Amino acid sequence: MGQKTHHKVTGMSTMRWLLLGLLLVLSLQGCAEQRTGDSQRAADQWLQPTLSLMRSGVVTRLEIIYLPKWIETPVPVLPRQLEGAGYYRISIEHFDESKLKRDLLSVLESSDMKQATAPDWEPDCRWGCVFYNQAGVRVLGMYFDAAGVKGWIGKTPVTLRRRFGKLAIVRLLESRCSSLWE
């Protein structure tokens, strides 16, 4: 009988240790998620100047450039090359008053992209957004590959934050513009 009590006490002790271990694991996971969220917010600081510029009202015109992926090139298309060789162009003269401005701000603010770690990579740019001020001076350029997983915002290389999918900004451009040339 004494032995059963001993096992019962040991069983209770084991249960306590398991519960303590589970609580420790859950608290560590919570701390890790908090650190990930904090580091993600800190990492997104590179995007703040772009958001501020777009909110400021300085941008009055947007030019969207598209080079279809069925047009083959021997080397990846760089941003400046896309501007010169764009197959389709759409110009939005009153960008500051457009719904597209609100939509672009929304997808940038809910950023599904992160700053790329390898700045020497060159995506095959097929989408471009060039923003101009009232004087017609270029103030910002954004460029993305056809797959919608990497590109440039200004001089910052960007990539999709998750493993699969497409950047929300590329999905937005496709939904708004593709029907114009298909």
Only one residue has tokens 């249960």, namely: 15
Tell me how far apart the alpha carbons of residues 85 and 74 are, in angstroms, rounded to a whole number: 14
Q: The pTM is what? A: 0.71
The rounded mean pLDDT for the chain is 77
Backbone angles phi, psi at 162, to 5 degrees: -100, 175
Report the pLDDT value the prediction gives residue 63, as an integer from 0 to 100. 95
pLDDT digits (tens, 9 = 90+) for 88-117: 999 999 999 999 999 989 888 877 788 887
Given a cut of 70, is residue 39 above it in pLDDT? Answer: no
Given a cut of 50, is residue 55 above it in pLDDT? Answer: yes
Report the pLDDT value the prediction gives residue 69, as an integer from 0 to 100. 86
Q: Work out the percent of the chain whose per-residue pLDDT is above 90.
A: 35
Given a cut of 80, is residue 141 above it in pLDDT? Answer: yes
More confident residue, 21 or 74: 74
- Mean pLDDT is highest, among 22-26, 124-128, 146-150, for 124-128
Cα separation values, 63 from 67, 97, 124, 127, 155, Å = 13, 15, 19, 11, 18
Given a cut of 50, is residue 137 above it in pLDDT? Answer: yes
Domain residue limits, the chain:
2-44, 46-181
Report the pLDDT value the prediction gives residue 164, as an integer from 0 to 100. 64
| Residue 64 contacts residue 177 (beta carbons within 8 Å) | yes
Q: Could you tell me the pLDDT band of residue 133, with boundaries at 50, 70 and 90?
A: very high
Tell me how far apart the alpha carbons of residues 69 and 61 are, in angstroms, rounded to a whole number: 26
Task: Calculate mean pLDDT across residues 132-141.
Answer: 95
